[in-house]
Amino acid sequence: MKLKEGFVLHDIAGEFVVVPLSDTMDDMKCIITLNDTGAFLWQQLESEKSEAELTQALLDEYDVEAARAENAVHSFIQKISEIGCLAE
């Protein structure tokens, strides 16, 4: 899976915000704010990654239990998929 083109992640005063580019603004009904973990996963999805690869990247980056990392990745993927940020 990979992010759909048309979204840019910005760090604004320590807050991570996903900004839609003009072509995607009609499709987007909200502003996306991410915590550090969400921003890390977002950046990972700038290139093609599987859910297992995202989980491993999270385990490599953060001191977290495998089950918690798997749940976090799954939840993140579900949320960004629901709002249309993943490429098909």
Domain assignment of residue 68, yes or no: yes
**Phi/psi at 84 (5° precision):** 85, 30
**Phi/psi at 32 (5° precision):** -105, 125
Domain assignment of residue 85, yes or no: no
Query: Which amino acid is residue 29, in one-letter code?
Result: K
Domain assignment of residue 2, yes or no: no
Domain containing 75 equals 7-80
What confidence score (pLDDT) does residue 88 get?
75
The pTM for the full model equals 0.86
What confidence score (pLDDT) does residue 76 get?
96
Domain assignment of residue 88, yes or no: no
What confidence score (pLDDT) does residue 19 get?
81
Domain assignment of residue 86, yes or no: no
Domain assignment of residue 1, yes or no: no
How many structural domains compose the chain?
1
What is the rounded CA–CA span in Å between residue 47 and residue 1? 8
Domain assignment of residue 52, yes or no: yes
Q: What is the mean pLDDT, run by run of 10 residues, along the chain of 88 residues?
A: 90 89 58 92 96 97 96 96 86
Domain assignment of residue 67, yes or no: yes
